[in-house]
Amino acid sequence: MNSYIEILRPGNAIMALIAVLLMAIVGHVYNWEIILGAITVFIATGAGNTINDYYDYEIDKINKPQRPLPSGRIKKENALYYSLILYFIAIIMGFIISFENGITVIICTILMIIYAYNFKQKCLIGNITVALLTGLTFVFGGLIINQLYTSIILGFFAFLMTLSREIIKDTEDIEGDLKENAQTFPIKYGSKNAVKLAVALNIITCLLSPLLYIYNIFSLFYMIIVLIADIIFIYTAILALRNQTKENLHKISGYMKIGMLIAFISFAVGSLI
């Protein structure tokens, strides 16, 4: 894979893109603004991942040495310029869609830059920022289809799932974060407490998930599919409580990403059938 594509972390960027497309499916609205919005979110998320790698250069030498920057495949200053250009493109595209969407991209851009520069190393603040940005992708899509209320509800569920996964990822990355004097939750309060918080968030998400069916936001088919996601979240909770090694937490993080994707699929199916 080309290094300038790899640094965008296209897998994560596609997850953000899917949120916008999901809102189109939920609202049964399919137009050029949705396509442009999905591309905008992909570019903005890629820019965020790039500038995050720029500021995490020293940490990633320990935690993720295979990434384009610590491996030397991209020069550090080139990554910064690349990120800023991508942000500029995303903002312009946002304003082409609507004024509100353009402002949303600017807000997200500011949050992503502050997160990469400072918030990432703060106890829970960084995790909450990433989770908020994930939720805002749904709101961005909701603005396009004029269904802000529904997008906020779905964004809230995305917020909970992302916050749990981010805490797990921080617990996995303790070794490198310690060398950079970061004050993440697992560093400040211990791996076990961090895992317990992540597990509590997973349980809350599972308990709240039926509400989207009970309040007629989605059909019964949503419940059938989201149950699979809930089972995955419960399973990862059990695994995390049993074993907090870096290797196990990395595996759990991957399972949680799959669970999130299945939850997103349940949103789409529940609105179509």
Placement of tokens 């310690």 in the chain: 178
Average pLDDT for the chain: 89
Beta carbons of 253 and 202 less than 8 angstroms apart: no
Q: What is the pLDDT of residue 1?
A: 59
Placement of tokens 């989770």 in the chain: 131
Residues 6+ apart with CB under 8 A from 190: none
Q: What is the pLDDT of residues 164-200, one digit of tens each?
A: 999 998 888 887 777 767 788 888 888 899 999 999 9
d(CA 82, CA 50): 8
What is the pTM (predicted TM-score) of this model? 0.89
What count of other Cβ atoms lies within 10 Å of the Cβ of residue 257? Answer: 17
Q: What is the pLDDT of residues 208-233, one digit of tens each?
A: 999 999 988 899 999 999 999 999 99
What count of other Cβ atoms lies within 10 Å of the Cβ of residue 62? Answer: 15
**Nearest partner of 72 among 83, 61, 81, judged by Cα:** 61
AA identity, residue 22:
L
Domains within the chain, CATH numbers bracketed: 3-272 (1.10.600)
218 backbone φψ class: left, alpha, beta (φ>0; ψ -120 to 50) = beta
Q: What is the pLDDT of residues 97-116, one digit of tens each?
A: 999 999 999 999 999 999 88
